[in-house]
A and B are shown apart, each in its own frame.
Chain A
Amino acid sequence: MKKTVPLWVVLGVVVAAFLFTRLGGNRYIYFAGYFVLQYIVLATAWNVLGGYTGYVNFGTAAFFATGAYTALVLILAFKATLPVQIVAGALTAGLLGLGIGYLTLRLRGVFFSIATLALSVVLQTVVSNWEYVGGGKGLSIIRPKAPALFASHAEYLFVVMVLLAAASVALAWWVQNSRVGRGLAAIRDNEEAAECMGVPTLRLKLFATTLSGCLMGVAGTPFPYYVTLVEPGSVFSLDYAVNSLAMPMIGGTTTWVGPVIGAVLLGTAQQVATVTISSELNLLIVGIVLVAFVMLAPQGIVGLVQRLFHRRSR
């Protein structure tokens, strides 16, 4: 019974989100909600590799963009529907994760991080010179008519993102509580000892890069319809790498719930700041909050709560 619980939770959340869109209301809510949800997916994806396994990825934008550009190509070539784009984006980004994992996982620590950052730069250069997808100046696309049952595309994308976020979190939950997750934790704690205890470290790390890349790609696939202007500058924005790293760090990296807390807090704060103060202030907020957390609560909010709880139970 226990195994089906996350499935029901995911389904319940999606239905609730759908009913919420039936209430109507200000379209901006869906736009802002989408932004936060997208970061729940990205932060959760980052955490599978960065938090569970201990390999810090600076190349979130590369995987996100792989998803977004896969979707764009499918729209241009076949007018593919969103579900098709999502599946294709997941596959391409997952493959990229697998390939990059294979090439770079022999590098440890900061060298792995540099390699992922380089990946992002290389891909951006490639895409900027690819005329079919608009090259450096980008491409505008027109959204198709919203599917039945939805008042507009904003609501539709919002519900899709709710589904993706809930599914990603459920997946992360499953990984964390499985034998695989315990193997990943052993790798994070001491890779050599893990290998000596029978953990197939290379295979598990490849699993982590593939799953992480796949989910990051998934987060990017609805992006073309969300913004309707796809250009390399925004798709490969540093924001993605910084945010998807900062959110789990702030929430706490060792559990599935950390990235969710971080994404909701930081994502909301950024949206509020964009509307009320200035859109340029976003990263400044992230930076300040991150520095504060690294100094005051290196285990994130989850670690902070756990520590309080422990003290009380003693």
Chain B
Amino acid sequence: MAALLEVRGVTKRFGGFQALSDVSLEVREGERFGLIGPNGSGKTTLINCISGALGTDGGTLVFRGKDITRLPAHQRTRLGICRSFQIPRPFTSMTVLENLCIPLEYAAHGQVPRSAVASEAMEILRLMGLDAKAQARPADLTGIDMRKLELARAMAAKPRLLISDEAMAGLSPAEVDAILPILFALNERGITIIMIEHIMRAVMRFSQRIAVLDAGEKIAEGTPEEVVSNKRVEKAYLGE
């Protein structure tokens, strides 16, 4: 399998704080990739660097063989990188359906004919089990539906790489079991997925490979089994 995304030696500083130091990893086409690490280890910062919300202070990002290090976020989305937010950020003045029309009209511009935008959005909502709420406002959604909307909107951008930033944080075990199959289904449709998660049960079940960040450095990478038996990982999570 070829590499879809290559992160080469990415470094990010916030003033005197080193958030990421020389992080390298490779995500292959079609892969389910897990990214874990204790709080403050730099997971979301790395995602922000990959999606373009933050610039990097060093290193390169290569997506589908193209250097994207200097591209603004919206152009990366058009190339096929889309992320969902840890705390859902819906477009509050729009209905659930209209929320999906924005990425369909912008990120997927040219891929979806104008007349098909609404039906395409409805199709995605159905896939997510949100079709009954199409005309609702985001403010009227439950917590889990809000997470589904966040994923649905990212899907509408027609990504090749979907970055799911803690899509399941704060959900009950039953709700986690409702979101996981959705992510599996998306992966089966050929979408590469990077999952950032604190819920170990979910990441372990979902990921084919996992990278572990601690204090801005990658300390381990491998299959879920390899990662859990890694001494450094154990130390990062549990201390000496």
A-side residues, CB < 8 A to B, are 179, 182-183, 185-186, 188-190, 192-202, 254
Contacts and interface: CB of A to CB of B under 8 A. Distances in A.
3 smallest CB-CB distances across A and B, nearest first, come from A198-B107, A198-B106, A189-B91
A188 B102 CA distance: 13
Given A189-B91, A189-B93, A196 B106 contact: no
Contact of A254 (B74, B90, B93, B156): B93
Interface string B70-93: 001110011000110100011111
Nearest to A187: B91
A179 B74 contact: no
Contacts of A201: 74
A197 B151 CA distance: 12
A197 B93 contact: no
Contacts of A194: 91, 102
In this complex, the member of A188, A190, A201 whose beta carbon has the largest number of chain B beta carbons within 10 angstroms is A190
B74 A199 contact: yes
Interface in B88-102: 89-94, 98, 101-102
A270 B157 CA distance: 49
Interface string B158-175: 000000000000000000
B94 to A, nearest CB: 7
Contacts of B72: 195, 200, 202
Given A185-B91, A185-B93, A189-B92, A197 B53 contact: no
Contacts of B94: 185-186, 189
A195 B83 CA distance: 11
Interface string B38-59: 0000000000000111000000
A123 to B, nearest CB: 31
B182 to A, nearest CB: 19
B93 A198 contact: no
Contacts of B82: 196-197
Chain A CB count within 10 A is highest, among B74, B78, B153, for: B74
A193 B53 CA distance: 10
Contacts of B106: 179, 183, 197-200
A195 B48 CA distance: 12
Contacts of B90: 189-190, 193
Given A190-B89, A193-B90, A196-B77, 5 more contacts: A182-B101, A183-B105, A197-B74, A197-B103, A197-B153
B212 to A, nearest CB: 25
A254 B94 CA distance: 11
Tell me the interface secondary structure of chain A in the complex: helix
B108 interface: yes
A85 B103 CA distance: 41
Nearest to A193: B89
A182, A186, A197, A200: most-surrounded residue (chain B CB, <10 A) = A197
B85 A197 contact: no
A108 B52 CA distance: 19
B109 interface: yes
B91 A198 contact: no
Nearest to A202: B72
A186 B107 CA distance: 13
B82 to A, nearest CB: 7
B101 A198 contact: no
Contacts of A202: 72
A186 B92 CA distance: 9
21 contacts: A182-B98, A182-B105, A183-B102, A183-B105, A186-B91, A189-B90, A189-B91, A189-B93, A190-B89, A190-B90, A190-B91, A190-B92, A193-B91, A195-B74, A196-B51, A196-B85, A197-B107, A198-B77, A198-B109, A200-B106, A202-B72
Contact of B102 (A192, A197, A254): A197
A199 B92 CA distance: 16
A196 B73 contact: yes
Q: Which of A198, A202, A254 has the most CB of B within 10 A?
A: A198
Given A189-B94, A190-B89, A193-B85, A200 B53 contact: no
Nearest to B100: A197
Nearest to B88: A193
A194 B74 CA distance: 8
Contacts of A182: 98, 101-102, 105
Nearest to A186: B102
